[in-house]
């Protein structure tokens, strides 16, 4: 298939900080090309894992390239290359299985890259004339991973106009990677799903576990919350594990469903009451009880707040005016009540009348 490439961006990979640089540039580029927020998040995970692979397994130095692509049927997407001078992968089918690694790591990176890519290839026929031209003068880079992700017109690209959303999150002071994550997906103009995820501990392995859970939610948001929790649990086997609080909001039925494992706290705030969300003990990816779904009324004017245990128990929510901006309230809680020894995340969704 003939591919037209343009808007080529190329960066040298030299150190750990380049992981974040490449990720940020990739997300910005994907959004400019027309990828929605969910797809751009998937691109971010792909690029993070690809560049991390160069740093950890490719000798610590390499080359990153991305470009806009278009095929003969006018499908559009993004192509990403990472090349290095590592030893390569003797058995790619084995390497992409989660848990396979020759380093002290979780071994889930290549599997995540392949799952999030529409096309995934290692050393594609000694690269291509296009890549050889781009790498002129860099012949040391013999090993490459190439991925392609196409813009999908089938996914829901709208939102729920009745829901106002605020998210604030920060890593433990001194850590580069956040072990917490969150996600909000609109499945239709009346149904949305959201989650706060806390990887156990903090740092890189907590970050990987929480991103892996987020990836599963992004890929299967349409299943029931209890089934989704079970799918995440199976996918996180071998990782540090996470705690999760997930909600599904239906503004047509004025209904909120919740399923939680671990110490993600949640509350539904109405004009008259505060209702705590019921969560089971356990660690997703290690040991959990059979997940359950709890149902709550969720009427216009109500707000739901999910937060990780990086928020101190001193905060109970009494001083919050829930009719105000969810984003401002989320940032206020983070700034005033986040623990100094942990990651912290707050997600607030208000059902606007």
- Whether pLDDT at 100 is above 70: no
> Comparing C-alpha atoms, which of 263, 255, 199 is closest to residue 232?
199
- Joined together, the tokens standing for residue 117 give 């890519």
Q: What is the CA radius of gyration of the chain?
A: 21
pLDDT category of residue 136 using cuts at 50, 70 and 90? low
Q: Does 122 score more than 90 pLDDT? A: no
Q: Are residues 104 and 199 in the same domain?
A: no
In a domain, 58, yes or no: yes
Residues 65 and 119 in one domain: yes
| Residue ranges making up the domain that contains 186 | 163-351
* CB 276, CB 267: distance < 8 Å: yes
Of 109, 128, 150, the position where a domain reaches its end is 150
Whether 134 and 197 share a structural domain: no
Model pLDDT, residue 27? 92
DSSP assigned state of 246: E
pLDDT for residue 95 is more than 50: no
Q: What phi, psi does 65 have (nearest 5°)?
A: -145, 145
Q: Is the dihedral of CA 73, 79, 83, 87 positive or negative?
A: negative
Instruction: Please choose, from the candidates 52, 53, 54, the residue with its C-alpha nearest in 3D space to the C-alpha of residue 62.
Output: 54
Edge-first strand listing for the sheet containing 76-84: 4-13, 62-70, 76-84, 143-150, 119-122
Q: Give the domain CATH number at 29.
A: 3.30.565.10
What's the rounded mean pLDDT across residues 285-296?
95
pLDDT for the residue numbered 135: 64
Q: State the DSSP H helix or E strand holding residue 60, giving kind and residue range, or none if neither.
A: none
As a whole number, mean pLDDT of residues 249-274 equals 95
Whole-angstrom Cα distance, residue 285 to residue 229?
A: 10
Share of the chain above pLDDT 70, in %: 86
Output helix, strand, coil percentages for the chain, rounded to the nearest 5: 25, 30, 40
pLDDT of residue 127: 56
Encoded tokens for 154: 């089938």
Q: What is the model's pTM?
A: 0.65
Q: Are residues 138 and 178 in the same domain?
A: no
Last-in-domain residue among 122, 150, 178: 150
Q: Are residues 138 and 52 part of one domain? A: yes
What is the rounded average pLDDT of the residues 331-341?
Answer: 95
* C-alpha pair distances (Å), 156 with each of 35, 98, 325: 12, 29, 25
Residue 105, in any domain of the structure: yes
Dmax (CA) of the chain: 69
Instruction: Please indicate, yes or no, whether residues 136 and 175 belong to a single structural domain of this protein.
Output: no
| Residue 225 sits in the same domain as residue 331 | yes
Q: Which helix (H) or strand (E) holds 253?
A: none
Predicted local confidence at residue 114, as pLDDT: 81
Q: Please give the residue that has the higher pLDDT: either 137 or 245.
A: 245
Any domain includes 155:
no
CA distance 244 to 263: 8
CA-CA distance, 172 to 79, in Å (whole number)? 33
Is position 157 within any domain?
A: no
Residue 171 lies in a domain: yes
* Section 31-58 average pLDDT: 86
Question: Do both 176 and 132 map to the same domain?
Answer: no
DSSP helix/strand/coil, 182: strand
Beta bridge partners of 265: 307
Residue 78 belongs to some domain of the structure: yes
Q: How large is the average pLDDT for residues 263-281?
A: 93
Asked if the structure places residue 188 within a domain, the reply is: yes
Q: How many Å apart are CA 201 and CA 161, to the nearest integer?
A: 36
CATH of the domain at 288: 3.60.40.10
User: What's the whole-number average pLDDT of the chain?
Assistant: 86
Query: 106, 124, 150: which is the final residue of a domain?
Result: 150
Residue 57 in 3-state DSSP? helix
Closest CA to 297 of 337, 247, 238, 253: 253
Query: What local confidence, expressed as pLDDT, does residue 140 receive?
Result: 62
Q: How confident is the model at residue 238 (pLDDT cuts 50, 70, 90)?
A: confident
Residue 38 has pLDDT above 90, yes or no: no
- Residue with more model confidence, 126 or 294: 294
pLDDT reported for residue 105: 40
250: its two tokens? 């239906």
Per-residue pLDDT band at 98 (split at 50, 70, 90):
very low
Say yes or no: 18 and 126 in one domain.
yes
Residue 65 and residue 195 in one domain: no
H or E segment and range at residue 170: strand 163-170
69/66 Cα distance (integer angstroms):
9
pLDDT at 303 exceeding the cut of 90: yes
Per the domain annotation, does 158 fall within a domain?
Answer: no
Q: Residue 106 above 50 pLDDT? A: no
pLDDT for 204? 84
Number of domain units in the chain = 2
* Token pair recorded at residue 282: 């356990």
Q: What is the pLDDT of residues 173-212, one digit of tens each?
A: 998 889 999 999 999 889 999 999 999 998 888 988 998 8
Are 334 and 217 in the same domain? yes
Same domain as 197, residue 106: no
What's the average model confidence in pLDDT over 15-33?
A: 93
Q: What confidence score (pLDDT) does residue 87 get?
A: 65
pLDDT above 90 as % of the chain: 54
């Amino acid at each position: 298939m003939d591919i037209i490439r343009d808007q080529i961006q190329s960066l040298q990979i030299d150190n750990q900080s380049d992981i974040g640089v490449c990720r940020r540039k990739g997300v910005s580029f994907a959004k400019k090309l027309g990828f929605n927020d969910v797809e751009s998040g998937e691109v971010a995970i792909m690029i993070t894992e690809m560049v991390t692979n160069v740093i950890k397994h490719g000798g610590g130095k390499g080359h990153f390239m991305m470009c806009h692509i278009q095929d003969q049927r006018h499908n559009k997407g993004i192509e990403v290359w990472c090349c290095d001078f590592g030893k390569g992968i003797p058995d790619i089918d084995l390497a992409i299985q989660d848990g396979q690694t020759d380093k002290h790591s979780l071994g889930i990176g290549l599997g995540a890259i392949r799952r999030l890519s529409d096309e995934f290839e290692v050393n594609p026929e000694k690269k291509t004339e296009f890549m050889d031209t781009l790498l002129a003068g860099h012949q040391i880079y013999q090993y490459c991973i190439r991925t392609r992700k196409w813009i999908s017109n089938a996914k829901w690209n709208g939102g729920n106009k009745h829901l106002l959303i605020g998210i604030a999150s920060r890593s433990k002071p001194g850590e580069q990677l956040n072990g917490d994550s969150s996600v909000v997906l609109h499945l239709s103009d009346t149904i949305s799903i959201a989650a706060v995820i806390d990887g156990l501990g903090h740092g890189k392995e907590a970050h990987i576990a929480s991103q892996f859970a987020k990836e599963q939610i992004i890929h299967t948001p349409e299943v029931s919350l209890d089934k989704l929790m079970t799918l995440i649990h199976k996918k996180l086997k071998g990782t540090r594990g996470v705690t999760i609080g997930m909600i599904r909001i239906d503004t047509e039925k004025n209904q909120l469903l919740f399923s939680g494992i671990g110490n993600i706290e949640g509350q539904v705030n109405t004009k008259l009451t505060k209702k705590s969300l019921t969560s089971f003990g356990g660690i997703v990816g290690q040991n959990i009880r059979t997940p359950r779904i709890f149902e709550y009324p969720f009427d216009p004017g109500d707000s739901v707040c999910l937060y990780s245990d990086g928020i101190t128990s001193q905060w109970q929510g009494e001083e919050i005016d829930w009719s105000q901006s969810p984003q401002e309230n989320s940032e206020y809680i983070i700034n005033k009540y986040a623990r100094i020894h942990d990651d912290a995340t707050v997600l607030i969704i208000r059902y606007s009348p």
